Amino acid sequence: MVTIREECEADVEAIRRVNVAAFAGEGEVEARLVEALRASGALVLSLVAEVDGRIAGHVAFSPVTVGAATGVGLAPMAVVPELQRTGLGGRMIDEALRRLAHTHRFCVVLGHPAYYPRFGFVPASTAGLHWEHGHDEAFFVKPLVAGGLDGVRGIVRYRPELDAV
Ligand SMILES: CC(C)(COP(=O)(O)OP(=O)(O)OC[C@H]1O[C@@H](n2cnc3c(N)ncnc32)[C@H](O)[C@@H]1OP(=O)(O)O)[C@@H](O)C(=O)NCCC(=O)NCCS
């Protein structure tokens, strides 16, 4: 059985293991990033995918700013290798976006160009938004509410914890 739910204190080690396993060679960095965001109270939303009682996926969201506007950024997301491409990542994103629509105007993500458009993300550059470090080709945005991007144009800045990666 698959349950998508918010992280709790008892999940911290399992979340670390999922990130280390999912990101070949860079897992430690991603795990530390999640821990740094958590330590500074910057995890707007942190969901886990529990499969038959075991944590098999994780996704984190932290605040981003565009001038005076605030949204959220998805990063990082991880699914254990043996369960990748079985839909777990998609279920976590669907659930996260449903929840975040109650609290935030828009969501950005830097990631696989073939993946995020299926959740309604569009190239951020087409909305006049750019990550401060470039990479327009992999940078996407989704308004979470009607008019969520009204008046929002310019450079998107993530939390300093993400810049340190
Ligand atoms: C990216 C990831 C979180 C997606 O989760 P998932 O549960 O595997 O995804 P889903 O089953 O919902 O969807 C599968 C889609 O993910 C994308 N995808 C998965 N792994 C991918 C990879 N290594 N490269 C490119 N696209 C990938 C593909 O678009 C795939 O669709 P397809 O099977 O039709 O080709 C997961 O594959 C993962 O942990 N990968 C390693 C870590 C990583 O790259 N994280 C993303 C950081 S933004």
Instruction: For the chain, give every domain's residue range.
Output: 2-163
Q: List the alpha helices (DSSP H) in 62-154.
A: 88-100
Contact 139, 15 (CB under 8 A): no
The pLDDT, as a whole number, for residue 24 is 86
Helices 27-39 and 12-22 meet at what angle, rounded to 10?
A: 150
Q: What is the residue type of 70?
A: T
State the average pLDDT for the chain: 96
Give residue-wise pLDDT tens across range 25-74. 899 999 999 999 999 999 999 999 999 999 999 999 999 999 999 999 99
The helix (run of H) or strand (run of E) holding residue 17 is helix 12-22
Pairing of strands 122-123, 106-110: unpaired
Strand order across the 106-110 sheet: 2-6, 45-51, 54-66, 69-79, 106-110, 139-143, 122-123
Measured in Å, residue 115 CA sits from the centre of ligand 1 at 7
Contact 125, 140 (CB under 8 A): no
Measured in Å, residue 56 CA sits from the centre of ligand 1 at 13
For residue 93, the ligand 1 atom closest to its alpha carbon is 12
Measured in Å, residue 85 CA sits from the centre of ligand 1 at 6
Tokens matching residue 147: 């008019």
Residue in 58, 88, 59 with CA at minimum distance from that of residue 75: 59
**Binding-site residues, ligand 1, Cβ < 6 A:** 22-23, 76-79, 84-90, 111-112, 114-115
Q: Give the whole-angstrom CA distance, residue 43 versus residue 21.
A: 21
Given a cut of 90, whether residue 17 has pLDDT beyond it is yes
Residues shown for the chain: 165
For residue 78, the ligand 1 atom closest to its alpha carbon is 39
- Indicate the fold that domain 2-163 takes in CATH: Aminopeptidase (3.40.630)
The pLDDT, as a whole number, for residue 163 is 78
- Predicted TM-score of the model (pTM): 0.96
pLDDT band at 145 (very low <50, low <70, confident <90, very high): very high
DSSP state of 42: -
What residue owns the CA closest to ligand 1's atom 10? 87
What residue owns the CA closest to ligand 1's atom 25? 112
- With tokens 């999640």, the residue in question is 34
Average pLDDT on 129-144 reads 97
